[in-house]
Chains A and B, each alone.
Chain A
Amino acid sequence: MTGAVVTGIFAAVALLAPLLAPYDQAEVSGIPQLGRPSADHIFGTTNQHFDVFSRVIYGARLAFQVVLLSTTFALVVGVPLGLVSGYSGRRLDRILVLVMDALYAFPSLLLAIVAAFALRRSVGSGVPAAALSISVIYVPQYFRVVRNHTLAVREEPFVDAARAMGARPVTVMTRYIAANVVSSVPVIFTVNAADAVLTLAGLGFLGYGGTFEIAEWGHDISVAISDIGTGFWWTSLFPGLAILLLVTGLSLLGEGINDVVNPRLRRAGIGSVAPGVRGVPEDLETAALTASADEPDPAGAGDETAFERLPDLAAVALPAHLSPGHGRDGPPVLAVSDLAVTYHTPRGPVRAVDGVSLEVAAGHSLGLVGESGCGKSTLGRAVLGILPKGTEHAGRVVLDGDDLTADPARWRSARGDRLALVFQDPATRLDPLMRVEDHFVEAIRAHRPGIRRDGARRLAADTLAAVGVPPGRARQYPHEFSGGMRQRIMIALAVALEPRVLIADEPTTSLDVLVEAQVLRLIDGLRRRLGIAVVLVTHNLGIVAETCERVAVMYAGRIVEEGPVVEVFARPRHPYTQGLLRSVISLETTTLVSLPGVPPDLADPPPGCPFAPRCPLAMATCQEVAPVAAPVGADGHRAECHLYPGADPTHPGQAWTPGGRRTTLADPPLAGNLR
């Protein structure tokens, strides 16, 4: 904003120079020599009898002419060249890149001087010559940015679509590529404009710009430089100030434009932080693991063939440090109660998780399912305490009887130690510059500084062997592994320190079906043998049926149904669960059934039951009263639906309680009309 005002004032001055300036730029008659700033000459006068105020004003005019001409010229040449070069590729691209890189590598002022010399013969030394010589510096900048951007956009499917519809290269480049690439051009334009002001002044200072006839700030400063020592400060100060102000104004303008063009930067500033909000957690990557203090056996050497016969996990002896220790059942190792998460967005608060209570016992697994946008990933992150900055949370996360929400420091130290996580895309979670082994060493030593480096390395090799990565590959870099192998490494990282709870967020979504099956089998085996409580976040109900013991169905930030997998899949109670299950396409599917509608906008949730607008069985109550969990079957099977007694909080009586009693119910009503 400030930038626009300053730039605007200069632009107006430049435009109206002949009206604003009391004297012409070359006028000397009747002007005193070296007069102090006074009412007649507010910026004083120079040794050459010029009025400084008028020279500064005409200097602005020249600066604007040259800057606009040069940056525009560079844009007109650089942008199309970058587009063509990036789109065509091949030889033309290589030649242009070479030329532009050479120009770019050349010291810019020197380049402008050379260009000014070369142009002096053909174009002369006026404004166009100065503009052209400066523009040579900026052509490579547009070229490089536009070309690299083009290279990226060229691979987008919509460009393929344009080619497939028979669009000519010119059409593809203009309507499909340029339209998406030029967003960065205004920013470069202003940055270059600021730079051009300085370059013009530099050229003028060195004698390649203005003259006594043509006012130019750099030239005027160079002429006035000898005045400074003799006390005539005004002759150089005002042109200098003008340069400073205009450059600052243009730079600020560039940043302002950048904020508009890249809304993500702008949004980051929004979102008032409500009281009670935690600070940002430390970077996810450092969240890692812990080991028992005793040192493990040294790893056996692994052979590396292109086709590793991966050991079936059941047949692999667990390394000594990974003991099947904790056993199963018993009290819940993870207990979440009334967890709520609120994001602050430009559209207002969004309650992404809205009062969730869950328990997972040691060695058990809970599948967390739902459509995208239902809060399942947010819930996973909230349990780990890795929500983005400015996110508000309430409720409790209790790990082994230890209330993590009460003590952020304990939460942080539990993360990567007792509380581990595996993400969807292993490629982005491993540092490409670090050997696999070093990921382990760093993570282990972060949590257990007592373990020495070689001990940590042995621990890494052991754990890698247990997940089917030959320990001989521990010294390789992440890019040397396939996607499935990387996910095995991520899992090894997560379990090396024997976590109590593992949260896996879509751990196999980026993997192929055969590798997916391998990885799921691996997680399942580790869970059973190490007694880890697993929370598996997934959109794939097939995966839940294959690997989980209990399932929680999330909708609009709430758990609308939860219970044993066998029970929920056989007798889904909530119409949402029924719809989800019927929309699954399996090998046995013969007809396509869909669940109409979309999840509600959580910035503006509907009153009553959030599923009511999509529910084929919705009743009057559903539109008004939000249901609470009611017992609907054996083993704590619960659902938040008014079809079942106890769901209406205004008629309390049978509300669900954790570990609730077995209840017998007739077969659930099946939601019809879901087709």
Chain B
Amino acid sequence: MSDPGPGVSPTSPVVRVRDLEVHFSLRGGFLGQILGVQRVVRAVDGVTLDVARGETLGLVGESGSGKTTLGRAVLRLVEPTAGTVEFEGRDITRLPERDLRPLRRRMQPVFQDPHAALNPAMTIGEAVAHPLRIQGLCATAGEARTRAAGMLDRVGVTPAATYLDRFPEDLSGGQKQRVVIARALVTEPALVVADEPVAMLDMSVRALVLRLLADLKRDLGLTYVFITHDLATARLLCDRVAVMYLGKVVETGPAAEVLGRPRHPYTRALLEAVPRPDPAARDRPRQLPPGEVPDATDPPSGCRFHPRCPAAFAPCPSIEPPLVNGVACHLHNEVPAPSPPAAPSL
């Protein structure tokens, strides 16, 4: 279902991101506009990573880390400021929308809020069939509807026939998220970027949707970029993770390694903060960093985490640590060496 396109080796990464920057300029107030003052949010500020075929890459971090923007840039839903994004071997960074359109069927999003991700004015059947029509994959509306019904059955919205003509408002949150997944998968994509797909769902429903995502990935040979702030879910579902802080990747590697033996103080803090459903673990020693993620228009100098870091030392406020061997921290690469940036294989 997800055969690589022509000229793409099955071992080459599905997504290659190089030195990607996505900056948004905030139009200041009235006065700011007159004076020409422009504040720039550096949402993604120099990210390099690969997503291998068939893997699940987790982008984890707090809000403001840039993980959502990175995911949107990979799908070209936002325009990158600098750097490149390659999808299945093609540089899509500045591809005109006309040329991008045929590629879009192979890269699809799943959103956080299932209630807002479905057009309230479209029936379930129309919503899932529409991508097929837009991409010209089905010649007739009837054919698209049949395929949509098949996909709805596949994601567990069954019996699909009874749902096709219903509107999203009739469905529960979990059902809506299944419809969103069906809509994303109906064009047979290679890559799915799922942004907090279960964060809005009840705890009891989360497992069902996550298992559905895992089953679909296995059966359809999908590649996932899984964006989440929930480290427990990331650990369970992801092959590799990239921990982001203020627009940068601070630690990356196999999920079991990064989340099992974290090296960056930020990753460690995130892990320590996760509430554990075990009253006996309540009094474990925890070192919570003070404060909150600072303003991305004016990130701290040097290592961006240094003002909150319990382990900050001399070089941290002035020298930005490069990402070496999967971690960007002076504790782990004492010499801020002029070494090449992180190996793309990660």
A interface vs B, CB < 8 Å? 156-158, 160-168, 171, 175-176, 179-180, 306-310, 371-372, 482-485, 512-518, 520-521, 539-547, 565-566, 569-570, 579-581, 583-587, 589-590, 592-596, 598
- Name the A residues within 8 Å of B236 (CB-CB): 585, 589-590, 592
Q: Which of B80-137 contact A (CB under 8 A)?
A: 100-102, 104-105, 107-109, 111-113, 116-122, 130-131, 134-135
Q: Which of B196-243 contact A (CB under 8 A)?
A: 202-208, 210-211, 214, 229-233, 235-236
**Stretch binding the partner chain, chosen from B9-17, B38-46, B272-280:** B272-280
Check A166 against B134 for contact (C-beta < 8 Å): yes
- Name the B residues within 8 Å of A179 (CB-CB): 119, 121-122
Check A157 against B233 for contact (C-beta < 8 Å): no
| B288 beta carbon closer than 8 Å to chain A | yes
Check A569 against B291 for contact (C-beta < 8 Å): no
Check A307 against B294 for contact (C-beta < 8 Å): yes
Q: How far is the CB of B22 from chain A (nearest CB, A)?
A: 15
B interface vs A, CB < 8 Å? 62-63, 72, 75, 77, 100-102, 104-105, 107-109, 111-113, 116-122, 130-131, 134-135, 172, 174, 180, 183-184, 187, 202-208, 210-211, 214, 229-233, 235-236, 259, 269-282, 286, 288-295, 298, 300, 307-308
Most buried by A among B273, B279, B286: B279
Check A594 against B204 for contact (C-beta < 8 Å): yes
Q: How far is the CB of A633 from chain B (nearest CB, A)?
A: 14
Top 3 A-B residue pairs of the complex, sorted by shortest distance between their CB atoms: A542-B275, A179-B121, A594-B207
Q: DSSP majority for the A interface?
A: helix
Check B277 against A584 for contact (C-beta < 8 Å): yes
Name the one of B210, B286, B292, B308 contacting A512, with C-beta atoms under 8 angstroms: B292
Check A157 against B204 for contact (C-beta < 8 Å): no
Check B277 against A514 for contact (C-beta < 8 Å): no
Q: How far is the CB of B152 from chain A (nearest CB, A)?
A: 16
Check B77 against A569 for contact (C-beta < 8 Å): no
With contacts A158-B117, A589-B232 taken as known, whether A583 is within 8 angstroms of B273 at the C-beta atoms is: no
Check A176 against B276 for contact (C-beta < 8 Å): no
Q: How far is the CB of B268 from chain A (nearest CB, A)?
A: 11
Q: How far is the CB of B236 from chain A (nearest CB, A)?
A: 6
- Name the B residues within 8 Å of A595 (CB-CB): 204, 207
With contacts A175-B122, A579-B204, A585-B206 taken as known, whether A512 is within 8 angstroms of B62 at the C-beta atoms is: yes
Name the one of B108, B120, B172, B307 contacting A598, with C-beta atoms under 8 angstroms: B172
- Name the B residues within 8 Å of A590 (CB-CB): 236
Taking A164-B77, A569-B277 as known contacts, 7 extra A-B pairs with beta carbons closer than 8 A to each other, sorted by chain A number, are: A166-B102, A167-B130, A309-B291, A594-B204, A594-B208, A594-B211, A598-B174
- A179's closest neighbor in chain B, by CB? B121
Report how far A584 CA is from B277 CA in the complex, Å.
8
What is the number of contacts between chain A and chain B, taking CB atoms within 8 Å? Answer: 200
Check A164 against B282 for contact (C-beta < 8 Å): no
Name the one of B122, B134, B203 contacting A165, with C-beta atoms under 8 angstroms: B134
List 20 A-B pairs, Cβ < 8 Å: A157-B112, A157-B113, A164-B104, A166-B104, A306-B295, A308-B290, A309-B290, A512-B292, A513-B273, A514-B289, A515-B62, A517-B272, A521-B288, A540-B203, A545-B275, A569-B279, A585-B210, A586-B277, A589-B232, A592-B210
- Name the B residues within 8 Å of A168 (CB-CB): 134
Check A161 against B117 for contact (C-beta < 8 Å): yes
Report how far A161 CA is from B184 CA in the complex, Å.
8
Check A163 against B77 for contact (C-beta < 8 Å): yes
- Name the B residues within 8 Å of A566 (CB-CB): 279-280
Check A156 against B235 for contact (C-beta < 8 Å): no
Name the one of B100, B118, B230, B291 contacting A585, with C-beta atoms under 8 angstroms: B230
Check B208 against A167 for contact (C-beta < 8 Å): no
Check A539 against B203 for contact (C-beta < 8 Å): yes
- Name the A residues within 8 Å of B135 (CB-CB): 165-166
With contacts A310-B291, A521-B288, A590-B236 taken as known, whether A543 is within 8 angstroms of B275 at the C-beta atoms is: yes
Check A583 against B232 for contact (C-beta < 8 Å): no
Check B291 against A542 for contact (C-beta < 8 Å): no
- Name the A residues within 8 Å of B210 (CB-CB): 585, 592
Name the one of B102, B130, B276 contacting A587, with C-beta atoms under 8 angstroms: B276
- A169's closest neighbor in chain B, by CB? B97
